[in-house]
Amino acid sequence: MAAVRALLPLLCSALLPLLLLLLPARAAAALEEEDGVLVLRANSFEQALAEHRYLLVEFYAPWCGHCKALAPEYAKAAAKLKAEGSEIRLAKVDATEESELAQQFGVRGYPTIKFFKNGDKAAPKEYTAGREADDIVSWLKKRTGPAAATLEDVAAAETLVDSSEVVVIGFFKDTASEAAKEFLLAAEAVDDIPFGISSSADVFTKYQISKDGVILFKKFDEGKNTFEGDFTKDNLLNFIKSNSLPLVIEFTEQTAPKIFGGEIKTHILLFLPKSVSDYQGKLDNFKSAAGNFKGKILFIFIDSDHSDNQRILEFFGLKKEECPAVRLITLEEEMTKYKPESDELTADKIKEFCEKFLAGKIKPHLMSQDLPDDWDKQPVKVLVGKNFEEVAFDENKNVFVEFYAPWCGHCKQLAPIWDKLGETYSDHENIVIAKMDSTANEVEAVKIHSFPTLKFFPAGPGRNVIDYNGERTLEGFKKFLESGGQDGAAADDDLEDMDMDEETELEEGDEDEQKLQKDEL
């Protein structure tokens, strides 16, 4: 017995490694979740990629207004996918806390959303579709499945039609036909709308289709549109783009990508406070006019009482007390604004304004503040739309102008240097240092695409303009001026275009400034 007791420790030590091998491996800690969305950090990111074949990740900032607006739709999309039993998961990363992850994946603005497939970190796909739950789900399904779902029976077709605001179904007796192939090419090109294809006789009967065709189903306006014409990818895409937006659409954080990403680049905007007594009547007038310009002008209404929309009012030079009001804008290479001659908001007046615009009979509307009495009393002269031509194109003066926005962080940093530059040349006989608030003043001769923009107007005939692209220091500005606008001048390929993306840029400051900046990085 004593011998057995002596052997026990030896047996235990020998068997322990074997016993450990037989024990189940310790499970990885469960990933944190919030409203059905995975919450990822640097120490859990790899685990999430390993566990989920399809992973959509939002890199956000807690202070970002766009991120806050996206949050409920993002959670709704996650819930919808979960309810369907999808293997796609949605996740989010606080990029202000996990800065190394943000840097690794090239996050420059908020929110940035990237799609990871099969754990591949090398080239995640950038999410570029709309910000409503249906848009997110449709985009993800296109990335993980066929461009168009095969609808075997009526139940499948009805389920698809009910699933989203807009759905497109192709009815083809032979799904391998050339027409069906063109339909599938169109389906592959559209990210944010679900497509279906069917050859089922029952599905044809259900939707009263007797020959090959395409129907766009929608939960607004006419309810559906039937395609007419030759089955080509381009024809189908034009049909879908023309009919997939409501005749009149409200501008919100969620609808903005659809509005700005659409093919129609002429927009008429009704600034209408929802608190106004005859709100519905004015909106009905606007809708009544819209049908006449389908495919030519996009009709948009904006709640002018909403705090998120105040920057848009400023952009058009409007004040809340001036609303309801109508403005029109073209979003081509240069943004141009137009204002109706009449303040009446009847359907006839709105139609008349649009018809005159399309006929080229309306002149652009250029904003200008009133000229301050003391505009030339300080070293830095104050320009507005009304005095710009006279000062900037004075043939006897060299005029250096800063075009700024009051909310722009970079402009605020530049202000003391610009004031010092004004003091340096305050007594100079032919150098003028000036500034203009470009959110409240516009001029035909100069189009401003970012803030701050610095332009030099040299003395002499010819109305010449030189862009400054040198160092934003007092010494840099002085060298530029003393060289006659040569040292620091921008080459043609250095000129920057305006960043029209709605995303917030990575700059510290208060939330209001960060939400809608057009500053340069």
DSSP per-residue letters across 293-305: GTTT-EEEEE-TT
Going from the first residue of the chain to its last (521 residues), give the mean pLDDT of each consecutive group of 10, the final group possibly shorter: 45 43 53 94 94 95 91 95 94 94 91 92 87 90 90 96 94 96 93 92 96 96 95 94 90 83 88 91 94 91 90 86 93 84 92 95 89 94 95 95 92 96 95 94 86 94 91 94 84 39 34 35 22
Q: Is residue 393 exposed (0-12), middle (13-18) or buried (19+ Cβ within 10 Å)? A: middle
What residues pair up with 451 in beta bridges, in sequence order? 519
Strand locations in 315-372 (E): 325-331, 335-338
Length of the chain as a residue count:
521
Whole-number Å distance between alpha carbons of 403 and 449: 10
Given a contact cutoff of 8 angstroms between Cβ atoms, the answer to whether 215 and 171 are in contact is: yes
Neighbours of 449 (CB within 10 A): 17
Active site residue ranges: 64, 67, 408, 411
Token representation of residue 160: 């698809």
- Answer positive or negative: Cα dihedral of 125, 129, 134, 138: negative
Count Cα neighbours of 132 within 13 Å in the Cβ-side half-sphere: 16
Token representation of residue 216: 């766009």
Nearest 5°: phi and psi at 96? Answer: -75, -25
Q: Which one-letter DSSP state was computed for residue 125?
A: E
pTM of the model: 0.63
Q: How far out from the chain centre does Cα 173 lie?
A: 40
Whole-number Å distance between alpha carbons of 142 and 165: 16
What DSSP string describes 344-355? Answer: ---HHHHHHHHH
User: Cis peptide before 452, with omega less than 30 degrees from 0?
Assistant: yes
The pLDDT assigned to 241 comes to 85
Given a contact cutoff of 8 angstroms between Cβ atoms, the answer to whether 435 and 386 are in contact is: no
Whole-number Å distance between alpha carbons of 61 and 413: 23
User: Using a CB cutoff of 8 Å and minimum separation of 24, what contacts does 204-211 make?
Assistant: 204/171, 204/173, 206/154, 206/157, 206/158, 207/157, 207/169, 207/171, 209/171, 211/173
Token representation of residue 78: 């996650």
Q: Which one-letter DSSP state was computed for residue 378?
A: S
Given a contact cutoff of 8 angstroms between Cβ atoms, the answer to whether 504 and 109 are in contact is: yes
The pLDDT assigned to 490 comes to 65
Whole-number Å distance between alpha carbons of 117 and 361: 52
Q: Which one-letter DSSP state was computed for residue 322?
A: G
Strand locations in 353-475 (E): 380-383, 398-404, 431-437, 453-457, 466-467
Distances (CA, A) of 322 to 59, 252, 272, 303, 319: 38, 21, 10, 13, 5
